[in-house]
Structures are given as C-alpha cells and as structure tokens.
C-alpha cells in the first residue's frame, strides 16, 4: 500500500482507509497527538508541574518509556489495520464417509 497523505506531524496514512475506517482514523489521530508529546518529553522541554502560591498543577507526567511503549503499541495497531489482517477464526472440519 502506498502512503498518499501525511498528517500535520508527518505521520503517513492511506487516505481511502482513513476515510473508510473509524478505528484507523482514530489511531492515526492518536499517533499525531502522541508525536507532539513524544517530542516534548524527549527534548526535555515538557514541564511536569507548576506551583503558584499554595496551588499546584501537574501536567504531562509521562515518562519517556511510557510514551515510547504507547507509540509502539499504536504503530503496531496502525500496521495491522493497514494490512487488513484479522485474527484467525476457528473452523471445524467434519469428515464424512459416503
């Protein structure tokens, strides 16, 4: 399959599959969002908490390993959806003696 379109972050996807399949489109969108989080975590620019006076706000508490695990999981799902492979179904064979 040829990749014909890219998201804003450069993640390639197949436009016909993107429009036809909701699970594929949400996977690509999740990868697009995760790409920005991954870049922030890996560059060290992600701020994890703010404190103003006695108030504290925590954001983006993902570690680099968590982000990479999630990235690998979503990429594997994306590749499986592009291949179109599904888990095998159990099929029974009945032998008959005529």
Domain-located, residue 96: no
Domain-located, residue 35: yes
Structure tokens at 3: 């990749």
Total structural domains within the chain: 1
Q: What SS3 class is residue 86?
A: coil
**Chain-centre distance of CA 46, in angstroms?**
20
Domain-located, residue 78: yes
In DSSP terms, 52 is beta-bridged to 55
Residues of the domain holding 39: 5-83
pTM of the model: 0.58
Give dist(CA 43, CA 39) in Å, integer. 6
Q: Walk along the chain (98 residues) and give the pLDDT tens digit of each residue.
A: 566 677 766 777 777 776 667 888 888 888 888 888 778 777 766 566 777 888 877 765 667 788 888 889 988 888 888 887 666 667 777 778 77
Domain-located, residue 57: yes
Domain-located, residue 18: yes
**Chain-centre distance of CA 80, in angstroms?**
11
Dihedral of CA atoms 76, 78, 79, 83 in degrees, nearest 10, equals: 140
Residue listed under structure tokens 């990479």: 68
């Amino acid at each position: 399959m040829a990749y014909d379109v890219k998201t804003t972050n450069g993640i390639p996807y197949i436009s016909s599959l993107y429009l036809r399949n909701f699970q594929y489109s949400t996977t690509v969108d999740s990868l697009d969002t995760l790409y920005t989080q991954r870049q922030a975590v890996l560059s060290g620019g992600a701020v994890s908490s703010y404190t103003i006076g006695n108030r504290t706000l925590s954001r983006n508490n993902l570690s680099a390993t968590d982000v990479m695990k999630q990235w690998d999981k979503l990429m594997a799902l994306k590749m499986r959806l592009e291949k179109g492979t599904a888990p095998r179904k159990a099929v029974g064979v009945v032998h008959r003696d005529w």
